C-alpha cells in the first residue's frame, strides 16, 4: 500500500506530479520579476544620468551668455544663437 502511494503520487493520480512542478515554476517567476526590476531600475538611473549630462550648457552657450552679459550682443541675437546651438546638437 505504501509503495503504491509513493509511486502513484499519494493517491492524487496524475495530479500528484504537478505539485512538484509548482515550486519550480514559482521560483522561475520570482527570478524573472527580480531580474526585470533590476533592469528597469538600471535603465531609469541611466536615463537620469544621461539627462543630467546633456542638460549642462556647452562652452559655446557659456560664451554667448558671457557676451550677452557684457552687452556685446542684444536679446534677439542671444536668443537666435542659443536656439541655433540647441537645434544643432
Task: For residue range 64-89, list pLDDT tens digits in order.
Answer: 999 999 999 999 999 999 898 888 75
Element (DSSP H or E) covering residue 24: helix 18-54
Closest CA to 61 of 75, 79, 48, 43: 79
Q: How far apart are CA 9 and CA 60, in angstroms?
A: 76
* pTM of the predicted structure, to 2 decimals: 0.44
pLDDT in tens, 15-61: 556 667 888 899 999 999 999 999 999 999 998 887 766 656 678 88
Do residues 9 and 15 lie in contact, with contact meaning Cβ atoms separated by under 8 Å?
Answer: yes
d(C-alpha 53, C-alpha 75), whole Å: 27
Amino acid at each position: 500500500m505504501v509503495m503504491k502511494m509513493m509511486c502513484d503520487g499519494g493517491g492524487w493520480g496524475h495530479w500528484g506530479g504537478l505539485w512538484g512542478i509548482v515550486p519550480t515554476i514559482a521560483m522561475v517567476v520570482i527570478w524573472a520579476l527580480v531580474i526585470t526590476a533590476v533592469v528597469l531600475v538600471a535603465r531609469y538611473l541611466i536615463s537620469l544620468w544621461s539627462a543630467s549630462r546633456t542638460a549642462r550648457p556647452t562652452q559655446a552657450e557659456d560664451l554667448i551668455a558671457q557676451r550677452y552679459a557684457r552687452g556685446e550682443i542684444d536679446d534677439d541675437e542671444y536668443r537666435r544663437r542659443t536656439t541655433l546651438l540647441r537645434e544643432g546638437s
